[in-house]
Amino acid sequence: MRTGDRYGVRLAARLTYLLAPLAALGWLFGLPLLLPSLGPSAYVLATDGREWRALAREVVLGQTVGVVVAFAAVRAFVGPLAAVTLLPHTTLGLHQVVAVVVAVVAATVGMSVLDARHAPAYATVLIFTLGIPDRAVDVLVFVAGVLALVALDSLRRRWARR
Highest mean pLDDT among 56-65, 71-80, 134-143: 56-65
- Tell me how far CA of residue 36 lies from CA of 48, 105, 113, in angstroms: 19, 21, 25
Q: Which of 56, 53, 54 is nearest to 41 (CA)?
A: 56
Q: Where are the domains of the chain?
A: 9-161
pLDDT, averaged across the chain: 91
pLDDT of residue 81: 63
- Count of positions (residues) in the chain: 162
Cβ-proximal residues to 1 (8 Å cutoff; 6+ apart), any chain: 8
Please tell me the distance from the alpha carbon of residue 73 to that of residue 19, in angstroms, as a whole number. 28
Least confident of 20-29, 78-87, 115-124, 136-145: 78-87
pLDDT of residue 82: 57
Global pTM reads 0.90
Residue 1 pLDDT > 50 = no
